[in-house]
Amino acid sequence: MSINFNQAKSAIATEIMERLHLLAQHTEQDGMMTRTYLTPAHRGAAGQIAAWMRDAGMSVRRDAVGNVIGRYEGTNEKAPVLMTGSHFDTVRNGGIYDGLLGILLPISCIASWHQAGKRFPFPIEVVAFSEEEGVRFKAPMLGSRAIAGTFEQRVLKHTDDQGLTMLDAMKAADLDPSQIPAAAAARGSIAAFVEIHIEQGPVLLNEELPLGVVTAIAGATRYMLEFKGVAGHAGTVPMTMRHDAAMAAAEFALYVEQRCSRIPNLVGTIGQWNVPNGATNVIPGHVVLSLDVRAGDDAERLAATTDITAELERICVQRDVRSTMKKTYETSSAVCADWLQQGWHAALERIGCEVRSLPSGAGHDAMAIAAIAPIAMLFVRCGNGGISHNPLETMEMQDAALAADVFMDFVEHFDALSTSSKTE
Ligand code: HGY
Ligand code: MN
Ligand code: MN
């Protein structure tokens, strides 16, 4: 099917791409994109997003975890809201599109409707979720969990690398943690949540497709591990007498790779590996690792984590090394509502785009909101081989324009879609 690019909202796309680059200036590390929860860069970005929401004709509120929520009123204020959005925190040295596209695209589309005086028989809310990556306090999806009512108070005690607790960071940012329960959306108040996000993978790029419809989002389990051996002199302790924490960790890491290579859609990653106070001439006595295990199928993920835990024990007994393994996060896979997927399919066909459905290996705020509302996601093609969580992350303006076209068409047909979904 040939796509008439002119139909696409190129003016909106220009604005989205310009704003993505403008927001990237709110970073806490010069020369790279790092914006973690409640840092000055994070608060600067929140202020800029709020200003763009107001310019687009939305009322704006901030909730107790720092979500920035723009509301575009409808003609029937009692109708459940069509919620959209994504996160505005980033990983360290990440890309500028992850999360932000799902905030800026709807804002620019709403500005266009606002200019045309167009309202819908339902309100639209764009949520800039304050924390999804879990980088600063090792607790992901804070923003979407607060709205879903599944925020866990225990994470307030988590500390950042400087030893500051999340509670203190919130208070320093003029947030009131006692109001977090009030941030939860009322039951039935959300008709649907739809998230637009870069694919963060190579599927659409390899098949030369601009957009894709997500079928399900992979579940994940995250841990922090510590290995405790015996530090010693690198030159004098014979290899057979060592209790080397790093070698135990290395054997564990290779097992994770081997176990998670057994089936497609099961992945295991050790993203952080620290030897506190390590030195070239000292046998490591202490190693700290992170572990992230994901699969589209929850049973496969749980089988893998069971095996990995058992192997950790075997390695430590064999090497006479101690270890701890603390689960810091776990979420089941989330299925996208069929009727919403059909809504994306219909919008893609009306715009003239091929329909391609695919699962998401990456986690998204949508999986937290799935606890209280039907969800769906639209993926946008990534360049550079689909790389993400990397400064090479990139996407094309033309694909932003098509995504805006499809999103606007989806919303303009949403009332009929949600009505027909109730009669099925
Ligand atoms: O880790 C993830 O999948 C997401 O980017 N937070
Ligand atoms: Mn991410
Ligand atoms: Mn993301």
**Ligand 2 geometric centre to CA of 70 (Å):** 22
> What domain count does the chain have?
2
Q: Which atom of ligand 1 is nearest to the CA of 134?
A: 6
Residue 2 lies in a domain: no
Query: Per-residue confidence of the chain (424 residues) as pLDDT tens digits?
Result: 445 445 546 889 999 999 999 999 999 999 999 999 999 999 999 999 999 999 999 999 999 999 999 999 999 988 999 999 999 999 999 999 999 999 999 999 999 999 999 999 999 999 999 999 999 999 999 999 999 999 999 999 999 999 999 999 999 999 999 999 999 999 899 999 999 999 999 999 999 999 999 999 999 999 999 999 999 999 999 999 999 999 999 999 999 999 999 998 899 999 999 999 999 999 999 999 999 999 999 999 999 999 999 999 999 999 999 999 999 999 999 999 999 999 999 999 999 999 999 999 999 999 999 999 999 999 999 999 999 999 999 999 999 999 999 999 999 999 988 888 876 6
Q: Are residues 246 and 359 both part of a single domain?
A: no
**DSSP labels for 301-355?**
HHHHHHHHHHHHHHHHHHHT-EEEEEEEEEE--EEPPHHHHHHHHHHHHHHTPPP
Ligand in closest contact with the CA of 198 = 3
CATH of the domain at 270: 3.30.70.360
Q: Are residues 300 and 338 both part of a single domain?
A: no
**Ligand 2 geometric centre to CA of 75 (Å):** 35
Residue 145 and residue 152 in contact, taking contact as beta carbons nearer than 8 Å: yes
Domain boundaries, position 206 = 7-217+333-421
Residue nearest to atom 6 of ligand 1 (CA): 133
Ligand in closest contact with the CA of 217 = 1
Q: Are residues 212 and 359 both part of a single domain?
A: yes
Residue after which a domain boundary falls, among 279, 302, 331 = 331
Residue 106 lies in a domain: yes
Q: Are residues 112 and 247 both part of a single domain?
A: no
Q: Are residues 344 and 324 both part of a single domain?
A: no
Q: Are residues 181 and 90 both part of a single domain?
A: yes
Q: Are residues 206 and 253 both part of a single domain?
A: no
Strand partners, 205: none
Q: Rounded to two decimals, what is the model's pTM?
A: 0.90
In a 10 Å sphere around its CB, with 0-12 CB exposed, 13-18 middle and 19+ buried, how is residue 312 labelled? buried
Residues with CB under 6 A from ligand 1: 132-133, 140, 362-363
Q: Are residues 138 and 245 both part of a single domain?
A: no
Residue after which a domain boundary falls, among 279, 311, 331 = 331
> Looking at residue 241, what DSSP letter applies?
G
Q: Are residues 327 and 349 both part of a single domain?
A: no
CA distance 383 to 12: 20
Pocket test for ligand 1, best of 329, 389, 390 (most atoms within 8 A of CB): 389
**Ligand 3 geometric centre to CA of 34 (Å):** 13
**Ligand 1 geometric centre to CA of 136 (Å):** 14
Residue 323 and residue 227 in contact, taking contact as beta carbons nearer than 8 Å: yes
CA distance 187 to 178: 20
Q: Which atom of ligand 1 is nearest to the CA of 132?
A: 6
Name the H helices within 149-242.
Answer: 166-172, 203-206
Residue 1 lies in a domain: no
pLDDT digits (tens, 9 = 90+) for 22-81: 999 999 999 999 999 999 999 999 999 999 999 999 999 999 999 999 999 999 988 999
pLDDT digits (tens, 9 = 90+) for 295-341: 999 999 999 999 999 999 999 999 999 999 999 999 999 999 999 99
Question: What SS3 state is found at 94?
Answer: strand
